[in-house]
Structure 1
Amino acid sequence: MANVKHLTSALRLTLSLGTVDGKSVTKTVSVSKIGAAAGAENLNALVGALGGLLEYPVASVKKYDTGLLEG
């Protein structure tokens, strides 16, 4: 039976820097090495806390998981 072993998780925050010539300008910031036990509520709290420290507002957040397929 195949299993997926969780290796690591990361968050990618997209920051809104404003507009230039009518086009949206963004920048991404990554937070890596997030434990597998971190649930949605904990991650949301983390993003809220980080958002308060950043110069620009957080426009979106994506979570990436990396796993090893073991067969």
Structure 2
Amino acid sequence: MTSMTHDAREITGGVDTHGLTHHTAVIDSIGRHLADREFPATVRGYRDLLDWMRSQWLESKRPALAPNTWAG
């Protein structure tokens, strides 16, 4: 039998925009830093920034295995 918990974290992302670069960060519901990255202020940079933010959101939604269980 497989047992999983679905303790998805609430996360918030923000972007600090500049002329040549944009710096983005992700924090949890109590303000803890989870990740950050800088992207160029270009069309490709905007796409990469959005992809990165989406990946952070997907990572926060991934189910975690409960202790002493297995997935299979």
Q: Which has the higher helix share?
A: 2
Q: TM-score, with normalisation over the residues of structure 2?
A: 0.39
Relative contact order, higher structure (CA 8 A, sep 6+): 1
Q: Which has the higher strand share?
A: 1
Q: TM-score, with normalisation over the residues of structure 1?
A: 0.39
